[in-house]
Amino acid sequence: MPLLHWSPRSPYVRKVMVALHEKGLIDQVTLVRTGVDPMVPLQGFLATNPLSKIPTLELEDGQILFDSHVICRWADQTGQVGPRLFPQDLIAERDEALGTGLIDVALPWLVEVRLRPQALRSDVMIATYRTKMNAVLDWLETRVSNLRARPFDIGHISIGVALSYLDFRFSDEEWRRGRPQLSAWHDEFCQRESVRATQFQDEQRPA
């Protein structure tokens, strides 16, 4: 059975977990709690993934897959049920890139404000992260009708998980304010069984 290195606090992992649920594969993968951290490389894991990142999927034939995008593609190709997550239309992957890009903004922002010593924090970088976040959210607010108009795909997963991560780590930013269309869409996203089954959970950082 494939082994998925995961954490309940990782948005990249949650993308994969939602995909596995949607494709009917969640019971066909063994979950391995792997304590990676952006500031603490996991030495014993480097031989498996030299980037010391999750999600990482170890297949039964010995192949190892890195990155949420690649693992979600594996799920889409392997699962026999559920929506087609990667249709030929590149809009789905464009929206996946946008959602993942929002996560890529949020994670270093989290490191900057919560993990870096106060004296070393950069107000310039924090302002940059906030500007990018708001630009993405404003862009999405004007395009919610496009999300609603097509079947559920990897773009929906990526954007939905990114917004859930803002709720999880940056609730004080109040991303919903002034964005009623996006907020309503996300509320609907959160009602999917695959999303309800993969809630974020915080935990102590590895030593």
Superfamily of domain 3-84: Glutaredoxin (3.40.30.10)
- Counting residues of the chain whose pLDDT is more than 90, the rounded percentage is 87
Closest of 124, 117, 204, 200 to residue 162, by C-alpha = 200
Residue 3 pairs with which residues in a beta bridge? 30, 58
Lowest model confidence (mean pLDDT) among 35-39, 106-110, 167-171, 175-179: 35-39
pTM: 0.95
Domain 91-194's class?
A: mainly alpha
Q: Sketch the domain layout of the chain as residue ranges.
A: 3-84, 91-194
Question: Would you say residue 170 has pLDDT above 60?
Answer: yes
SS3 per-residue string spanning 135-169: HHHHHHHCCHHHHHCCCCCHHHHHHHHHHHHHHHH
> Mean pLDDT throughout 56-69?
97
pLDDT for 74-97, tens place per residue?
999 999 999 999 999 899 999 999
Banded pLDDT at 205 (limits 50, 70, 90): low
Closest of 26, 20, 38, 27 to residue 74, by C-alpha = 20
pLDDT for 131-145, tens place per residue?
999 999 999 999 999
